[in-house]
Amino acid sequence: MRIHLPFYVFLTFIFVSCGTDKPAHYRKIAGFTQGTTFHITYEDNADKDLSGQVDSIFKVFDLTFSEYIPNSIVSGINQNDSTVLLDDMFIEVINKSIEINRETHGALDLTVGPLVDAWGFGPEKKAKIDSSKIDSLLQYVGMEKIRLEGRKLIKNQPGIKIDVNSIAQGYCVDVVYRYFEKLGIENFMVEIGGEVRTKGKNPKNDTWRIGVDKPGDGKSEAGENLQTIILLDNKAVTTSGNYRKFFEENGRKYSHIIDPHTGYPYKNSLLSVTVIAKDGLTADGYDTPLMVLGLEGARALLKQHPELDAYMIYSDENGRFQVEYTKGIQFDKD
């Protein structure tokens, strides 16, 4: 499975700390999944390697959400297989997406699949884009065109395609998080493609410290050039940005973030938005819509949702990077 939205602006997890207490025994798991990397660190008092269990979780998750697996649930929906039944994970994502779609006035829309494919950010080859092509695809876009009936997703038109990439990776972090929590592990961090959720303390018995990358041209490695370091205390953090996944054509840069209202890649001054929320599904569900809404729209939405915190990097009228963030964010001062 490849995720095409949030992980391109990487958050970097950092274990450096000023704590002096002797660290407990922690174990680390790392590898590749969903077209990106993952890292999990957990307190391992039982001396048990959970890598096999984590791998099984990823496989089940892919069978639900991966467009690159022909027999996955989302592939069946997009192939108009009327026998496909949704599992609990898919139903949770759909319900949350409907809620955020309403709260963001349509800026989050899972039916952008045809547009994502046409622009070359999905499984299919990029199409020749012009206004008539976009107009022909917009008829299939709109969350009002889908609905849940029991365990079935009903589409108003066969041409509607679901794309969960703007929200799925943050939710995958939650799924793994819930597994570790169910095991009774008190201190751990789950990171998948830069989307992070933490519980308890890090190996230095401190609050988990997460680095936010500075916007660049997409060529640098994650963590090479940090914008800031935030403290993440029993919450999730995700980032969406325009500089890790894009293409250039005729001297113009096209971001992977599609505005579902226009059918074109979004175009405003925001370069990245990092969202802190109670869980990964919520954080990931809001980071891309905030990008689409632009700076003023993002400010207005955040005022309506004090439970969210955001760190926004944008370009001013002179092309200089500027930063704006909500008051609830805690920064590492060491």
Task: Look at residue 60 and tell me whether its pLDDT is greater than 80.
Answer: yes
pLDDT at residue 220, rounded to an integer: 46
More confident of the two residues 52 and 7: 52
pLDDT at residue 253, rounded to an integer: 55
pLDDT at residue 5, rounded to an integer: 33
pLDDT at residue 254, rounded to an integer: 55
pLDDT at residue 1, rounded to an integer: 37
What is the SS3 assignment for 37? strand
Residue 240 near residue 201 (C-beta atoms within 8 A): no
Structure-token pair, residue 224: 């090479």
pLDDT at residue 15, rounded to an integer: 43
Choose the weakest-confidence range: 44-58, 72-86, 146-160, 263-277. 263-277
- What is the band of 202 on the pLDDT scale with cuts at 50, 70, 90? very high
Task: Look at residue 249 and tell me whether its pLDDT is greater than 70.
Answer: no
pLDDT at residue 214, rounded to an integer: 80
pLDDT at residue 164, rounded to an integer: 96
Buried b (16+ CB within 10 A) or exposed e, 29-63: beeebbebbbbbbbbbeeeeebeeebeebbeebbb
Q: What number is the average pLDDT over the span 176-198?
A: 97
Sequence-distant (≥ 6) Cβ neighbours of residue 189 within 8 angstroms: 13, 39, 40, 41, 42, 196, 197, 198, 199, 202, 208
Residue 27 carries which side chain, given as an amino acid letter? R
Residue 4 near residue 121 (C-beta atoms within 8 A): yes
pLDDT at residue 20, rounded to an integer: 41
Task: Look at residue 246 and tell me whether its pLDDT is greater than 60.
Answer: no
More confident of the two residues 119 and 149: 149
Strand 226-232 to 321-325 pairing: unpaired
- What is the band of 333 on the pLDDT scale with cuts at 50, 70, 90? confident
pLDDT at residue 252, rounded to an integer: 57
- What is the band of 287 on the pLDDT scale with cuts at 50, 70, 90? very high
- What is the band of 255 on the pLDDT scale with cuts at 50, 70, 90? low
- What is the band of 19 on the pLDDT scale with cuts at 50, 70, 90? very low
Residue 144 carries which side chain, given as an amino acid letter? E
Q: What number is the average pLDDT over the span 2-15?
A: 40
More confident of the two residues 255 and 80: 80
- What is the band of 319 on the pLDDT scale with cuts at 50, 70, 90? confident
Nearest to 94 by CA among 160, 151, 35: 151
Name 322's bridge partners.
314
The residue assigned the tokens 């679901």 is 162
pLDDT at residue 107, rounded to an integer: 97
Residue 201 near residue 207 (C-beta atoms within 8 A): yes
Return the number of other C-beta atoms located less than 10 Å from residue 129's C-beta.
17
The mean pLDDT value of the chain amounts to 88
Name 230's bridge partners.
210, 331
- pLDDT above 90: percentage of residues in the chain: 74
What are the residue ranges spanned by the domains of the chain? Answer: 70-155
Return the number of other C-beta atoms located less than 10 Å from residue 132's C-beta.
8
- What is the band of 112 on the pLDDT scale with cuts at 50, 70, 90? very high
* pLDDT tens per residue, range 291-311: 999 999 999 999 999 999 999
Return the number of other C-beta atoms located less than 10 Å from residue 122's C-beta.
22
For 178, half-sphere exposure in the C-beta direction (CA atoms, 13 angstrom radius) is 12
* pLDDT tens per residue, range 21-38: 445 799 999 999 998 999
More confident of the two residues 131 and 12: 131
Which of these CATH numbers, 1.10.3860.10, 1.10.3980.10, 1.10.490.10, 1.10.286.10, describes 70-155?
Answer: 1.10.3980.10
